[in-house]
Amino acid sequence: MYTPPVAGSKIIVVGAGTFGLSTAYALALKKYNVWVYDRNTVPSADASSTDINKCVRMDYGGDTLSMQLMMEAYPHWHQWNKERAEMGLSPVFHQTGCLLLCKGDSYSDYERSSIKHIREAGYGHTIQELPTPESIIERFPQFKDAVDNGYKVAYLNTEGGWCNSSETIKHLYQKCVDNGVQFIIGSDKGAFEQLLVEDDVVRGIRTRDKVKHIADHVVLAAGPWTASLLDFGGRLQATGQAVIQFSPPPEFIEKFKDSPVWGGDISRTGFYGFPINAEGKMKIASHSVGYVSPRSADNVSVPRTQVTYQDDTIPVKALDNFRKFLGEFMPETDNWDISYSRVCWYSDTTDGKFLVAPHPDYKNLVIASGDSGHAMKFTPNIGFKITQVIEGIETDYSRAWSWKESNNDVLTSSDGTRNITSKPLTLGVGEARMASKVELKAPKKKSS
């Protein structure tokens, strides 16, 4: 039986990423004694949240709980922007809108369901439908090539946009510090090695430098590394997703200015992209079944990042998929070299929902993981929901994110945006070998 912490308890949070920092902040506001441990500085160089942007959207198909969580998050994002402005800093949230284009003459089930539930929730004013090719081109002429190649219907959600994810983490870190959260950072002193357990009761953690750290409760929020720290019986798995960037020429930057975040028939293709940022970088990503990097000892997938493998790019299969999709959706990119690429790591659950729950086999241990590629947009408020779990408060969220029976062979998408048609491939093998720098060059340049 789980016993919540009493007022003023010391709580250790393992991991200074999205879940970890948001939880630490929420706990600190309730006057717990909060200590965060991480092996890297904040923001961590190999964290998925350390990026130029992430999508912020309420469009969640039939997953109305995530839609509601995002609706609750928007006021926090706007408040953070006000805080940033008072400090003379740039916004963390950019409300450009999210444009969801569909191939063919009608929406897919994902877009149709999203519109329905958003309207039923009282946010119908945010939906602007573009039901014909002409209406899309009139509003967003930069997507004319996509429309000409079959993307004939779309809608814009004006409430959505993107966040500067690295700056978001920095902003939240400072809020934690300002509210008394203690940070132990470093490859030895901040690196989790194991739990301190007595008769199935967690008493704290031991770090890589062999120092024991005692606490009343421990929250394990290590992102995609979580599955490698304990046996989760297949409930969590680290999967890598491909991300690329272009540095478009000036004429395209001018053409593409004032663009929204976009999805290119995302429930069928998995592809989405972002406006060009202030540094002239345009990011495009794939939300798919992904790739795994199993360790030899137990076959558990552990993130493989450019911190350790500095020359890593993306798998050749992913590269081929990007080029094929963009050749139709945004054919100008055929002339461009990919300027940067990486594998971004998710902590996947089999049902695509978060795993935020007390561990059934250890007292005083709460797991806060299973982002499944959806954590960043909830950064300002997810910690309050996790804190409710820590305090033993039952809610719709705690029930949805509870410890469930696992199915190792099935991976699903909670909202239908992930193009899951097979099992993840193993990085470095066959089609999943890393692409060379030459292969990242423009196809038309390579063929000439």
Residues 107-164 have pLDDT tens digits of 999 999 999 999 999 999 999 999 999 999 999 999 999 999 999 999 999 999 999 9
228-239 residue pLDDT tens: 999 999 999 999
pLDDT at site 409:
58
Residue with the larger pLDDT of the pair 326 and 307: 326
| Torsion from C-alpha of 370, 373, 377, 379, nearest 10 degrees | 30
Per-domain residue ranges for the chain?
1-52+164-236+349-410
The pTM for the full model equals 0.96
Give the dihedral sign, CA 54/60/65/69: positive
- The helix/strand/coil state of 393 is coil
Q: What length does the chain have?
A: 448
| Mean of per-residue pLDDT scores for the chain | 95
**98-102 and 261-264 as β-strands: parallel, antiparallel, unpaired?**
parallel
For the segment 244-253, the average pLDDT, to the nearest whole number, is 97
Q: Name the band, by pLDDT with cuts 50, 70 and 90, for residue 371.
A: very high
State how beta strands 271-273 and 161-163 pair.
Answer: unpaired
Domain with residues 1-52+164-236+349-410, CATH architecture: 3-Layer(bba) Sandwich (3.50)
| The one-letter amino acid at 99 | L
Q: How far apart are CA 250 and CA 295, in angstroms?
A: 44
Candidate from 36-45, 111-120, 151-160, 165-174 with smallest mean pLDDT:
36-45
